[in-house]
Amino acid sequence: MREGQATANARALRRSLTDAERKLWSFLRLRQLEGYRFRRQHPIGKYIADFACIEARLVVELDGGQHNGSVHDVERDAEIKQKGFAVLRVWNNDVMANPQGVCEVIAQALSRAPTPALPREQGRGR
C-alpha cells in the first residue's frame, strides 16, 4: 500500500470506529492517560495502527477473534517493530468488559517509555 493510500485509508477508518475502538479512544484522547498523546488509525509504513503514541513509540492494537494466531499479525508486528515501535495487542472483549484494566496495562507499557515533553507556553516570549 502506498503511503498516500495509507493516509486515505486511515481517514476512512477514523470515521468508522468499532465499539471497542470508540470506548478505548474515550480513555486515550486528549492526553488523559499519563499525559501521552495518542493518535487513532495512524499510518506506520504500509500499515495502519489502531492507536499510536509517537513520543513513547507505542502501538496499541485491538483484536477480535479473527486475529487469534494470525500469521499476518506476526508479520505486521515485525515490520512495525522494525520502525522502532513496541506493539501491545489487546482483546476487544477486554476493552468492553474492563477498560480501566486495559488502561492500566497501557500505562505500564508507557512507563517504560521516555517522559513526554511538557507543552509549550502559549503567547509571546520574553
Please state, in angstroms and as integers, the Cα–Cα distance from residue 47 to each residue in 4, 18, 57, 83, 91, following that order.
12, 18, 15, 11, 19
Higher pLDDT, 17 or 93: 93
What's the pLDDT score for residue 8? 66
> 90: which 3 cell numbers?
489487546
What would the mean pLDDT of 83-98 be, rounded to a whole number? 96
Q: What is the pTM of this model?
A: 0.78
111 conformational bin, left if phi > 0, alpha if psi -120 to 50, beta if neither = alpha
* Model confidence band, residue 64 (pLDDT cutoffs 50, 70, 90): confident
Residue 57 has pLDDT above 50, yes or no: yes
Residues 84, 102: Cα–Cα separation, whole Å: 23
CATH superfamily of the domain spanning 3-111: VSR Endonuclease (3.40.960.10)
Residues 61, 63: Cα–Cα separation, whole Å: 6
